[in-house]
Amino acid sequence: EVRLVESGGGMVQPGGSLRLSCAASGLLISSTAMNWVRQAPGKGPEWVSGISVDGFTTYTTSVKGRFTISRDNAENTVWLHMSRLEPEDTAVYYCAAGPGVDLTQRQNLYADWGQGTQVTVFS
């Protein structure tokens, strides 16, 4: 059974930082692309970032230069370091795996999802 468990969310003021983690079991993150998707209140899911098995990273425009995705294969964990947070970043952040080794923003193709972690940016 595949499990993805996110943690690290919380409440932070604008300009602050958080680091989210996604611990995987039942799959090797070294063999699949990994992604972060967020859903803000009243909005649909938004793809945020992805990392391929080769380490190639990509980001949605609104977080470029502020968020960094990384992967620790030994710990089987994916990280999302978020800095210079803005109120617009408030959302539940989900980790998602797959569908294969390459990146795609097509969320309907992701094989496995975590339960999400809440990030709230407030003044």
Mean pLDDT of the chain: 96
Q: Work out the average pLDDT over 85-104.
A: 94
What is the DSSP-derived secondary structure letter of residue 101? S
Please report which confidence band the pLDDT of residue 7 belongs to, taking 50, 70 and 90 as the band edges: very high
pLDDT of residue 12: 98
Q: How far is CA 18 from CA 8, 50, 59, 104, 120, in A?
A: 7, 18, 17, 25, 10
